[in-house]
Amino acid sequence: SFSLQAKMSRPVQARRLEGIDKNIWVEFVKLAATYSKVNLGQGFPDFPAPDFLTEAFMRALSGGNHMLHQYTRAFGHPPLVKVLAQFFEKLLGRDVDPMTNVMVTVGAYQALFCCFQALVDEGDEVIIIEPFFDCYEPMVKMAGGTPVFVPLRPNPPKDGKLMSSADWQLDPAELASKFSERTKAIVLNSPNNPLGKVFSRGELGLIAELCVKHDVLCISDEVYEWLVYDGKQHIRIASLQGMWDRTVIIGSAGKTFSATGWKVGWVVGPNRLLQHLRTVHQNSVYHCATIAQEAVAQGFQRELMLYGKPESYFVQLPKELQQKRDWLVQSLDGVGMKPIIPEGTYFLVADISQFKSDVPEVPNSDEPYDYRFAKWMVKNKGLAAIPLSAFYSEAHKNNYTNFIRFCFAKEEATLKAANDILQKWKQEKTS
């Protein structure tokens, strides 16, 4: 009596997904795959992960321990949580217990998801500093929370010099005004994607003071912790007075060891917070790939031994990336696409306001200029980048449509090819 063709008529989508279905990466990754000759869009290296890491993976895969092909401890493979605890004891100057203060996740992405699901309730407000890694907003909303945005405000240098990510700053009064009794957490991302800003001790001190004053948690996304340039120092907010107890530190082996496809991440923090993240983890993902964890553990053991020495990957990688940053800065500056020099990360934001005449207007389109520009550039020049306004809330994105983000974690040949495209473009414009 019932038809096989019977269509469902009830809504199938859970209400928590309303308004978060759009995702910049789906569209721009596809565009880059279809049109780009040089892809400086999505954030991953096109150079190999270090040999010591891939060799560790091979040993784990084909060595004598067949148990590495089975589930491991749900909250983190013991060798990995142990070495992470040792590492963070050094970095934070405090005791870190491998079993209760560290948890391994499927990349930093799942670490973020666990934080929001475990710590944010219906009606809670979460402060997000703009521009931000785009998934923070939908993740807060999925947890039932309300994102509250506060922008970094650009102060261009008066001497005509190129801008630096350090010139983008929080207005202290504006930041303070966002804290209320509904505020549950603030998300801090230093070094910051997309700007490359490395928050100073003063800026972190201000955030910490407000967190303590209003009894607010800090979700500290530090996936680019080792990618800091020009002798700058990455300061961990958890090491500031009163902050350990209220901070979850998030890290990523993908960014740390140039192996984003492995999707190994972690959280470090007090047990009173991590116990709730473990509840989310055990009821969603539960186990992360054992072999990848084993190899990352060996990578960290090497780095612990070489800590601060010139052979350390954490010393070498930022040196190499700083050179790549400088090449891209030069290429962009040379054609009038003004770069904002990043202090950290492998991203660089450039000002495209001088290129408006290159990109045809689309009648009746409300698509922001940076989106139109990035699409036009990949289709017509074969160079892929990401529009900056994708890293802003709906309410503020229209104020930031004159910039695009490039990723410079690329082989020298890739950056040269990008330079060739830009040079040719410049010649076409002037001839």
Among the listed ranges 107-115, 282-290, 310-318, 321-329, the one in contact with ligand PMP (CB under 6 A) is 107-115
Q: Give the whole-angstrom CA distance, residue 126 versus residue 295.
A: 35
| Contact track, ligand PMP, 207-226, x by CB under 6 A | --------------x-x---
Q: Give the whole-angstrom CA distance, residue 373 versus residue 362.
A: 11
Cβ at position 218, least distance to ligand PMP in Å: 15
Residue with tokens 């802003």: 392
Among the listed ranges 65-73, 101-109, 209-217, 268-276, the one in contact with ligand PMP (CB under 6 A) is 101-109
**By C-beta, is 109 or 355 nearer to ligand PMP?**
109
Q: Is 408 in the site for ligand PMP (CB under 6 A)?
A: no
Q: Is 343 in the site for ligand PMP (CB under 6 A)?
A: no
Cβ at position 193, least distance to ligand PMP in Å: 4
Q: Is 252 in the site for ligand PMP (CB under 6 A)?
A: yes
**Which residues between 26 and 65 bind ligand PMP (CB under 6 A)?**
43
Q: Is 165 in the site for ligand PMP (CB under 6 A)?
A: no
Q: Is 24 in the site for ligand PMP (CB under 6 A)?
A: no
**By C-beta, is 103 or 335 nearer to ligand PMP?**
103
Applying CB under 6 A, among 165, 193, 247, 258 the residue interacting with ligand PMP is: 193
Applying CB under 6 A, among 45, 79, 98, 254 the residue interacting with ligand PMP is: 254
Q: Is 190 in the site for ligand PMP (CB under 6 A)?
A: no
Q: Is 133 in the site for ligand PMP (CB under 6 A)?
A: yes
Cβ at position 116, least distance to ligand PMP in Å: 13
Percent helix, percent strand, percent coil in the chain, to nearest 5:
45, 15, 40
Cβ at position 189, least distance to ligand PMP in Å: 5
83 and 298 in contact (C-beta within 8 Å)? no
Q: Give the whole-angstrom CA distance, residue 177 versus residue 180.
A: 8
**By C-beta, is 179 or 266 nearer to ligand PMP?**
266
Applying CB under 6 A, among 79, 98, 107, 151 the residue interacting with ligand PMP is: 107
Q: Residue 325: name the closest of 306, 307, 348 by CA.
A: 348
Q: Is 79 in the site for ligand PMP (CB under 6 A)?
A: no
**By C-beta, is 87 or 425 nearer to ligand PMP?**
87
Cβ at position 286, least distance to ligand PMP in Å: 17
Among the listed ranges 102-110, 173-181, 293-301, 304-312, the one in contact with ligand PMP (CB under 6 A) is 102-110
Q: Is 370 in the site for ligand PMP (CB under 6 A)?
A: no
Q: Would you list the DSSP string of 113-156? A: HHHHHHH--TT-EEEEEES--TTHHHHHHHTT-EEEEEE-EE--
Q: How many CB atoms lie within 10 A of CB 223?
A: 26
Task: Indicate if the alpha-carbon torsion angle 384, 390, 391, 392 is positive or negative.
Answer: positive
Q: Give the whole-angstrom CA distance, residue 345 versus residue 409.
A: 9
Cβ at position 255, least distance to ligand PMP in Å: 6
Is the peptide bond between 194 and the residue preceding it cis, with omega within 30 degrees of 0? yes
Q: How many CB atoms lie within 10 A of CB 3?
A: 6
For 203, residues 6+ apart whose C-beta sits below 8 A from its C-beta are 169, 170
Token pair of 195, please? 């700007």
Among the listed ranges 45-53, 104-112, 167-175, 389-397, the one in contact with ligand PMP (CB under 6 A) is 104-112
**By C-beta, is 107 or 344 nearer to ligand PMP?**
107
Q: Residue 124: name the closest of 105, 148, 107, 104 by CA.
A: 148
Q: Is 87 in the site for ligand PMP (CB under 6 A)?
A: no
- Using CB under 6 A as the binding criterion, the count of chain residues that bind ligand PMP stands at 14
Cβ at position 257, least distance to ligand PMP in Å: 11
Q: Residue 195: name the closest of 149, 237, 161, 163 by CA.
A: 163
Among the listed ranges 68-76, 122-130, 260-268, 303-311, the one in contact with ligand PMP (CB under 6 A) is 260-268
Q: Is 290 in the site for ligand PMP (CB under 6 A)?
A: no
Residue 383 pairs in a beta bridge with 38
Residue with tokens 């107890």: 245
Q: Would you list the DSSP string of 191-219? A: SPTTT-----HHHHHHHHHHHHHHT-EEE
**Region of 267 on the Ramachandran plot (φ > 0 left; ψ -120 to 50 alpha; else beta):** beta
Residues binding ligand PMP (CB under 6 A): 43, 107-109, 133, 189, 193, 221, 223, 252, 254, 260, 263, 265
